[in-house]
Amino acid sequence: MNTITVRSAKTSDVHAIRNLVRPLAEERILLDKEAVTYYESIQEFVVAEDHEGNIVGCGGLHVIWEDIAEIRTLATSAEVRGKGVGHLLLTELLQRARSVGVARVFCLTFEVKFFERQGFSVMADQSAVDPSVYQEILLSRDEGVAEFLDLARVKPNTLGNTRMIITL
């Protein structure tokens, strides 16, 4: 595989990120988002860039609370899938989680085997936060937080996803 560089995403990468996500959204593997959502959260994203400057992968880290964050929109192009790009992206996102003080990272995924190879496990206890924190984060308007809390209003979008978590 050619050299892949993982770097912070820029606003100029949003078009490429959307192009990576779109085919996976059509397969119902990822949720498609409006461009404005990517622009609003661009500082959460990293991208994988090949030696020619093409964006071949992306992923985001969204902090939910003091000690927990979510991996979001982890995607690679079909051409590099299975070649370690997802691993590079996830490694960078987990390092960023550590650097901001997060102790646990979760994801909602259909790619259970991939995340297991990276050290994640299926969440046995669906209440990953204590009741007082649960009440606080219920106030969030973020859809990912609603997915994490397993709220009924997001169930149609998350049917079949597996909740996985890693302790750093």
Summarised one tens digit per residue, pLDDT across range 43-80 is 999 999 999 999 999 999 999 888 889 999 999 999 99
Structure tokens at 90: 């996830």
Q: How far is CA 162 from CA 17, 18, 45, 116, in A?
A: 23, 23, 22, 11
User: Distance (Å, rounded) from C-alpha 38 to C-alpha 20?
Assistant: 13
Q: In the chain, where does DSSP find H-type helix? A: 14-26, 35-40, 85-99, 112-117, 131-137, 143-148, 155-158
Strands 121-122 and 162-167 come out as antiparallel
Q: What is the pLDDT of residue 156?
A: 47
Summarised one tens digit per residue, pLDDT across range 97-109 is 999 999 999 898 9
Tell me how many domains the chain contains. Answer: 1
Residues 6 or more apart in contact with residue 21 via CB below 8 angstroms: 30, 32, 33, 58, 73, 75
Q: Which CATH number belongs to the domain containing residue 90 in this structure?
A: 3.40.630.30
pTM (two decimals):
0.84
The mean pLDDT value for 24-33 works out to 88
| Confidence check: pLDDT of 115 > 70 | yes
Which structural domain range is residue 27 located in? 5-167
